[in-house]
Amino acid sequence: MIKLTAQRQAILDMINASDRHWDADELARSLSDNGQPIGIATVYRGLATLEAAGLIESIQLADKKRYERADKAHHDHMICTVCGDIEEFAHAKIESLQLSVAAEKGFTVTGHQLVMFGLCERCSQGEQK
């Protein structure tokens, strides 16, 4: 059975305490700064375990995986390629259209990831001008 350890609890608490999308290293550093140093390997394992248990969620970016709270409704992301800001959005119609397209092809969807890249509002302004 899965054991509730202080390390896993610390990781989960840290993630649930904010709306950030954390990568393993940021989490390890932050935990360390909070007087709860946890081995980096344990952080990776803890994140995987917590995600498998449905307690946290993740998005797979080009170079690394980022984790966030799971107590929010499903949503997708827009990532600013200038400042790195990650914005969230939810669109029921897009979700249902995805499923219908899959169904047409006999594809059984178990998960999906939609990410838009571009410039966030702030970065769009400084842009031209």
* Chain positions contacting DNA, by CB under 7 A: 1-8, 23-25, 37-42, 44-46, 48-49, 63-65
Report the amino acid identity of residue 18: S
DSSP, res 76: E
- The residue among 7 and 16 lying less far from DNA, judged by its C-beta, is 7
91 annotated as belonging to a binding site for a ligand: no
112 annotated as belonging to a binding site for a ligand: yes
Q: Which does 83 bind (CB under 5 to 8 A by kind): DNA, a second copy, Mn ion, none?
A: none
Rounded to whole angstroms, the Cα distance separating 89 from 87 reads 7
Rounded to whole angstroms, the Cα distance separating 126 from 129 reads 6
Phi/psi-derived region of residue 30, left when phi > 0, alpha when psi is between -120 and 50, beta in every other case: alpha
> Which of these ranges, 8-16, 31-39, 43-51, 79-87, lies near a second copy under the rule CB under 8 A?
79-87
The residue ranges that bind Mn ion (CB under 5 A) are 68, 88
Rounded to whole angstroms, the Cα distance separating 10 from 34 reads 10
Check: CB of residue 64 under 8 Å from CB of residue 104. Answer: no
Q: Is 109 in the site for a second copy (CB under 8 A)?
A: yes
Binding residues for Fe cation: 74, 76, 95, 112
Binding residues: 74, 76, 80, 83, 95, 112, 120, 123
Binding residues for Zn(2+): 80, 83, 120, 123
